[in-house]
Chains A and B, each alone.
Chain A
């Protein structure tokens, strides 16, 4: 069947093939620092109604993540059909707290009060974007966890777009970025229900939904998205997944070591992950157990599908190879000797751009027809 946006209001000229921008996150380098999340937060979601919005997040796995228990919320495209999903609530996202700075610093209350998130009775202080940080699972000393950075997958089958009744959502033809025309958004939030990754937020002040815009203003200037460019782990590849000479094509299609998250959700994400290795586990007598992986393979399969075993196996055998003195193109790619090699064509240094508000306004007027 063909799933379309039945209510789209503005069709593109589709004579050219649709472009796509994709990302690969190497989970074996992610340290869960949240720089990506914060880089995004500071750039995009600082206005009213955006306090709790973290278009980019990094969570400890296994865990409930953000919104709380998102993996159990349904949505996606199952058996070719958009599937019912739950709209994550404000409380399930949590966060967006205000703090009682005034009261503590200047309220004259001394030790009878202390700095804390203000409880507004809406349960938003009971969860947050990274609430279960570093908890993980397993039994000591064989407990385990790892980090999973997540953003909108800018899916090839964006079921959020399908679900939008007001024709506000669309996938950009030139780079596949999934966007929402906020002037058309009626706040109906079917996108939030349908998105199986639960990466759409609601602005309770402006009555519109919002989500990762893949830093499209930056992409247009050939600057890599903020999360990727600011990641101190140097682990986020950005680029055209069809460029056969680029690292994304190689990692995803040629070497098949980068996989989408929850492929069974059916939306064909464009964000891929190198699955995580973990330290050897320990036996009862604290000797090394080389046989039992610390992270249960079933759990990895749950996250990344059955391909995960061969992908992980490949990374591990390459690692074994380099330890025996061989060289590895895959691992050399993941080392990223030159940082700019992460970003395909998006290598412009934003500090060199002229983006004065006046100039940006003029450019907008000239090239966009709002």
Chain B
């Protein structure tokens, strides 16, 4: 067939002129999405026309890192592609607001900045007078340009900062229990080196949009991809196998693979011997490790944490300073007799022997089938593949939100441990990490400008390390030493410096004492009912033993009076939501301030709302991470819309107003509970180092320069060089424990694989045993039967109901950030929905898009039903991120979450089982919520 309808070249009519001019701009700058989009770091170009930001597009200027590995271009995602659309739209805040009528009534008075600042300053002074500066509290966000100004501000006046990590609940607790750190993170391109990818408790098609391609490209290179998840989430389709393990049954599945590997003798023995505690000897009489004090008695030279291997017919010390055995084949199996210092003879066995008995007894593939529903042959097949191939477990932060998520993660790590799958390109497991831009940490506390100030801070750490090493020469790596410093400092305060002036705490105690969670967590039948003791007994013991000394506030007698939520959305995020926090906490607070670029659910329920600049309207950085290995800039591309201001400026204005109001109210100085003195008059000077960093550009530049000083960025990197390129690749880990946790060199031309140092150089792990630790002989673990990884059923937190609500990050929004973006809302149904299975829908006579009420013993919420064949019968999926006010009656899915914490997380006093900032601590859980649903109104 011949078709003739061509028209003259490029004559495109008035329509064309219209489109030509739509694609025009007068300025291009850098931008990225610096909120809690993690790992993100996508460099975008931001296009500006007539002083307004009109659109953005990934810059896509990355060079190849490693020859033969796909480059990182273009990065970006659906949210990033319309970030600009929220600048001038429905939920954008343009003016300071003051509540009229009751909280959450939706009535506001637009006020001037001066009025707003006065209200905030007076609120602070009232609180300080009533309950000291610690009664002003922040929860917050990790967004760099929000959290640094906020924390520096709180440092100035002595407010209480809650450790952020548990609030957003992404602490991979089982990784921490195993490795003494939760944050090994390979660069995303390292995935390309994998031969077997287990997508497990992760949904990268939703949550790793810029990087997911590396998995699929690895597949095209020969890797097999296995998706392990009850439902057919969006990542199932590009997998070779979908393994629908029942909700929360993953530990059994992993342990059965371990059983197969041990039974078939295909474990990586050299790796197991060097990297793990599996060859460490355990006393069969006490179930505790064989220790030096057992053999030598309680003498000064005998170390409590010196463990043993069995070699050549006798126990030999397990080296704490280096893991390499240089071919020494310490025993993995068998039972041996040792003579203790008092002459008693006891039997000991390597952990591996105990593990073998344990999995043979409880987790053969046949036994696991009952728990997981997975056919035993499937278990065997995957186990054999894992033993033979470079295996990468793509873990998200889903497992850690299960009550027994630590057990799931420990079992996953164990699978990698017995198959030799970490520290080599294309292997491992991941959580998240921050660090590298050390200037971000120094900026929170810095008091002296420039290099001198950096020297002071980083030098102090050096000195502390030296002192520790003198005492313990087995602290052979910086990582070990820095962690030790961090753990010691944690006892003093969250930032570790100038302790009496700072008040920080893990939020568990805040929730427990001030948020009404005491009552919930103590509900025995909502927790692990196999325990011999009640929650309160463990809790009391933890406090008695001093494991949380100085960290266990604010106690009931020190109630908070003011909350400043900057960039965060506490009411949306908190497990239990308003049902839990409303009467317990919210009503107690005299003043609630929300600082944000958008009116979120927390803002909607606040008293004073201050409009902040959005990420394209201020100088900002993305949270740096080894996923991407770059420091990524987001610049001020246009003046903030309306009257909005950057947080850095907002806090300066508050401090100035605070000084003014304090003077007017006759407050010259005040003290915190430690007796440290604060003088409002000098706070702005201190905040800005006498004006040195008052300007936004100067502040950002100082962060970069300090990061150069600490060796993480190349010489000469500064704000202006970053403005040229948009991002800069890191060259060193610097000095934060989160970054040093990578334990691997940074190569300019190789993907980043964490744990190389452990494997290649025998660097010890920062655990009690200095090894990847699968046997935890802390008395609580033994008492709970969790000293080896086990499967335990998800507790019935919320009552005995037939369905299990699971969750995860959705595709459309980073938490609630983009959930009201009009463009994004059009890409789904524009309203909260839950996905339900065909069976469950049929049983209850519910059809697609009908309103249903999901309920349990706590309360209920209403959402649209999305009937999806890929949902496991018995499962309800409520992807999170919907803001409270998107639901009927402002009751979202988090209202029916109990937010239980596992008692074990209150433990301490055992090597890595000790609090330090953003590390070991209790975290509320919210997965596998027991519930049911019915048609709304029925």
Q: Which residues of A contact B (CB under 8 A)?
A: 1-5, 8, 10-14, 18, 28-29, 31-35, 37-39, 41-44, 54, 77, 80, 95-97, 99, 101-102, 104-111, 113-117, 125-126, 128-131, 133-141, 143-147, 156-158, 161-162, 168-174, 179-185, 208, 213, 215-218, 220, 226, 229-235, 276-280, 282, 285-288, 319, 322-323, 325, 328, 331-332, 334-340, 349-351, 355-357, 359-361, 363-364, 367-370
A181, B12: Cβ atoms closer than 8 Å: yes
A selection of 18 A-B contacts at a CB cut-off of 8 Å is A5-B4, A32-B811, A101-B90, A106-B107, A107-B106, A108-B107, A139-B869, A140-B872, A170-B6, A171-B7, A182-B13, A230-B58, A232-B210, A279-B239, A279-B240, A286-B378, A337-B71, A364-B21
Chain B residues numbered 58-93 whose CB sits less than 8 Å from any CB in chain A: 58-61, 64, 68-71, 73-78, 80-82, 84-85, 89-91
Q: Is B14 an interface residue (CB 8 A)?
A: yes
Q: Is B876 an interface residue (CB 8 A)?
A: no
Contacts of B23 in A (CB 8 A): 43, 215, 217-218, 355, 360
If A35-B81, A140-B872 are given as contacts, then 18 extra A-B residue pairs at C-beta distance below 8 Å, sorted by A number, are A28-B216, A31-B212, A33-B811, A35-B76, A99-B820, A108-B106, A133-B828, A140-B870, A169-B5, A229-B60, A233-B216, A234-B73, A277-B238, A322-B222, A334-B220, A339-B71, A349-B59, A364-B17
Q: Give the distance to chain A from B919, nearest Cβ to Cβ, in Å.
A: 32
A335, B70: Cβ atoms closer than 8 Å: yes
Q: Give the distance to chain A from B598, nearest Cβ to Cβ, in Å.
A: 10
Contacts of A276 in B (CB 8 A): 237
B227, A97: Cβ atoms closer than 8 Å: no
Partner of B830, one of A29, A128, A138, A364: A128
Partner of B5, one of A137, A162, A322, A325: A162
Q: Give the distance to chain A from B872, nearest Cβ to Cβ, in Å.
A: 6
Q: Give the distance to chain A from B9, nearest Cβ to Cβ, in Å.
A: 5
B20, A360: Cβ atoms closer than 8 Å: yes
- From B75, B108, B822, B872, residue with most partner A Cβ within 10 Å: B822
Q: Is B466 an interface residue (CB 8 A)?
A: no
Contacts of A339 in B (CB 8 A): 60, 70-71, 73-74
A106, B835: Cβ atoms closer than 8 Å: no
The 3 A-B pairs at the shortest CB distance, nearest first, are namely A181-B13, A182-B15, A101-B90
B820, A101: Cβ atoms closer than 8 Å: yes
A38, B824: Cβ atoms closer than 8 Å: yes
A234, B74: Cβ atoms closer than 8 Å: yes
Q: Is B374 an interface residue (CB 8 A)?
A: yes
A162 to B822, CA, bound (A): 36
B24, A171: Cβ atoms closer than 8 Å: no
Contacts of B869 in A (CB 8 A): 135-140, 143
A11, B8: Cβ atoms closer than 8 Å: yes
Contacts of B224 in A (CB 8 A): 323
Q: Is B101 an interface residue (CB 8 A)?
A: yes
A54 to B825, CA, bound (A): 13
A135, B868: Cβ atoms closer than 8 Å: yes
Q: Known: A116-B830, A145-B232. Is A335-B205 also a contact (CB below 8 A)?
A: no
Partner of B11, one of A42, A106, A109, A369: A369
B55, A42: Cβ atoms closer than 8 Å: yes
A145, B209: Cβ atoms closer than 8 Å: no
Q: Give the distance to chain B from A316, nearest Cβ to Cβ, in Å.
A: 10
Q: Give the distance to chain A from B859, nearest Cβ to Cβ, in Å.
A: 14
B15, A140: Cβ atoms closer than 8 Å: no
Taking CB as reference atom, which chain A residue is nearest B222? A322
Contacts of B823 in A (CB 8 A): 38, 41-42
Taking CB as reference atom, which chain A residue is nearest B29? A351
- From A107, A125, A286, residue with most partner B Cβ within 10 Å: A286
B26, A357: Cβ atoms closer than 8 Å: yes
A368, B11: Cβ atoms closer than 8 Å: yes
Q: Known: A42-B55, A44-B19, A286-B373. Is A355-B25 also a contact (CB below 8 A)?
A: yes
Contacts of A128 in B (CB 8 A): 826-830
Partner of B25, one of A80, A169, A217, A356: A356
Q: Mark B887-911, 1 if CB is under 8 A from A, else 0.
A: 1111000000000000000000000
B71, A338: Cβ atoms closer than 8 Å: yes
Contacts of A37 in B (CB 8 A): 78, 827
A335 to B26, CA, bound (A): 36
Contacts of B17 in A (CB 8 A): 364, 368, 370
A117, B831: Cβ atoms closer than 8 Å: yes
Taking CB as reference atom, which chain A residue is nearest B726? A351
A170, B5: Cβ atoms closer than 8 Å: yes
Q: Known: A322-B220, A337-B71. Is A288-B241 also a contact (CB below 8 A)?
A: yes
Contacts of A172 in B (CB 8 A): 6-7, 9-10, 12
A106 to B93, CA, bound (A): 11
Number of interface residues of B (CB under 8 A): 131
Partner of B20, one of A41, A108, A217, A334: A217
A354 to B517, CA, bound (A): 58
Contacts of A28 in B (CB 8 A): 216, 238
Contacts of A364 in B (CB 8 A): 16-17, 20-21
Taking CB as reference atom, which chain B residue is nearest A365? B17
Chain B residues numbered 78-128 whose CB sits less than 8 Å from any CB in chain A: 78, 80-82, 84-85, 89-91, 100-102, 104-108
Partner of A287, one of B10, B204, B378, B868: B378
Q: Is B57 an interface residue (CB 8 A)?
A: yes
A183, B13: Cβ atoms closer than 8 Å: yes
A322, B76: Cβ atoms closer than 8 Å: no
A29 to B227, CA, bound (A): 15
B216, A29: Cβ atoms closer than 8 Å: yes
Q: Is B33 an interface residue (CB 8 A)?
A: no
B837, A114: Cβ atoms closer than 8 Å: no
Q: Is B411 an interface residue (CB 8 A)?
A: no
A370 to B17, CA, bound (A): 8
Partner of A143, one of B15, B81, B239, B870: B870
A134, B76: Cβ atoms closer than 8 Å: no
A102 to B599, CA, bound (A): 11
A28 to B239, CA, bound (A): 10
Partner of B868, one of A18, A29, A97, A136: A136
Chain B residues numbered 146-199 whose CB sits less than 8 Å from any CB in chain A: none
Contacts of A96 in B (CB 8 A): 826
Partner of A232, one of B74, B104, B831, B866: B74
A231 to B212, CA, bound (A): 12
- From B3, B70, B837, residue with most partner A Cβ within 10 Å: B3
Q: Known: A110-B106, A230-B57, A232-B76. Is A331-B82 also a contact (CB below 8 A)?
A: no
Taking CB as reference atom, which chain B residue is nearest A161? B5
A33, B12: Cβ atoms closer than 8 Å: no
Q: Is B354 an interface residue (CB 8 A)?
A: no
B106, A357: Cβ atoms closer than 8 Å: no
A117, B830: Cβ atoms closer than 8 Å: yes
B3, A2: Cβ atoms closer than 8 Å: yes
Contacts of A97 in B (CB 8 A): 822, 825-826, 830
Contacts of B867 in A (CB 8 A): 135
Partner of A235, one of B59, B213, B369: B213
A325 to B222, CA, bound (A): 8
A171, B5: Cβ atoms closer than 8 Å: yes
Q: Mark B855-872, 1 if CB is under 8 A from A, else 0.
A: 000000000001111111
Partner of B227, one of A106, A130, A181, A279: A279
Chain B residues numbered 867-881 whose CB sits less than 8 Å from any CB in chain A: 867-873
Contacts of B1 in A (CB 8 A): 1-3, 77, 80, 157
Contacts of A357 in B (CB 8 A): 21, 24-26, 49
Q: Give the distance to chain B from A253, nearest Cβ to Cβ, in Å.
A: 19
Q: Mark B200-240, 1 if CB is under 8 A from A, else 0.
A: 00001100011011001101111010010000111111111
Contacts of A350 in B (CB 8 A): 45, 57
Contacts of A184 in B (CB 8 A): 13
A351, B78: Cβ atoms closer than 8 Å: no
A113 to B886, CA, bound (A): 9
Contacts of B81 in A (CB 8 A): 35, 38-39, 42, 230
Contacts of B234 in A (CB 8 A): 31-32, 134
